[in-house]
């Protein structure tokens, strides 16, 4: 139980990461592969924020009433993830646009039927 208390956030984050990776490796449909990519992204965001967490820490925002001795969680991972989420969305949009173009050209989203993707 103690182990779960300590590591549940890591387990959740990497569970999401592995679900995303599995989806990307197994699925044949391009849209599903892109969904896997975003799941993998979310796992990494969760992991970063979990690493910055502090027991009984507050959000790293100074409000007039908080005493100076109060503990705050690490602001650096939050700042990194803040921008990473936006980048993730733009990557998702770019991937979707490529999927749209592939569908217009081959009339299928199944990567098995797109011969030029094989190597």
Partner 1 sequence: MRKIISILLLFILTAGFTLCLLDIPFGEQKTKVGNYYINNGARETGAANIVTSVVVNYRGFDTLGEITILFTAAIGLAAVLGHPKKNKDPQPKEPASLIVYTGYRILFPFMLLFGAYIFIHGHLTPGGGFQGGAVIASAFILMYMSSKDKKINPTAVKIIESLAGLTFVGTAAAALTLGRPFLSNFMPKGEFMTLLSAGIIPVIYIAVGFKVGAEFSGIIHDLTGGN
Q: Is 89 near partner 1 (CB under 8 A)?
A: yes
- 77: closest CA among 24, 18, 13, 23? 13
Q: Count interface residues toward partner 1 (CB under 8 A).
A: 46
Give the Cα separation of 27 and 88 in Å (integer): 21
Q: Is 1 near partner 1 (CB under 8 A)?
A: no
Interacting residue with partner 1 among 63, 65, 69, 119 (CB under 8 A)? 63
CA-CA-CA-CA torsion for 48, 46, 57, 60, nearest 10 degrees?
A: 70
Q: Smallest distance from the beta carbon of 1 to partner 1, in angstroms?
A: 14
Nearer to partner 1, 85 or 117 (CB): 85
By the 10 Å C-beta count (0-12 exposed, 13-18 middle, 19+ buried), 67 is classed as exposed
* Contact present, 34 and 95 (Cβ < 8 Å): yes
Residue 12 CA: distances (Å) to CA of 29, 81, 95:
26, 17, 26
Interacting residue with partner 1 among 35, 49, 91, 109 (CB under 8 A)? 91
Interacting residue with partner 1 among 31, 79, 108, 113 (CB under 8 A)? 79
Q: Which residues bind partner 1 (CB under 8 A)?
A: 6-7, 9-10, 14, 18, 21-22, 25-26, 50-55, 57, 59-64, 72, 74-76, 78-80, 82-87, 89-91, 93-94, 96-98, 100-101
């Amino acid at each position: 139980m103690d182990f779960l208390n300590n590591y549940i956030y890591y387990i959740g984050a990497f569970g999401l990461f592995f679900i995303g990776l599995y989806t990307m490796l197994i699925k044949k449909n391009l849209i599903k592969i892109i969904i896997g990519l975003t799941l993998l992204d979310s796992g990494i965001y969760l992991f970063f924020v979990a690493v910055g967490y502090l027991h009984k820490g507050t959000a790293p925002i100074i409000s007039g009433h908080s005493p100076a001795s109060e503990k705050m969680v690490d602001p650096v991972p939050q700042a990194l993830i803040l921008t990473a989420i936006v980048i993730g969305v733009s990557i998702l949009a770019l991937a979707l646009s490529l999927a749209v173009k592939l569908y217009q050209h081959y009339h299928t989203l199944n990567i098995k039927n797109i011969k030029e993707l094989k190597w």
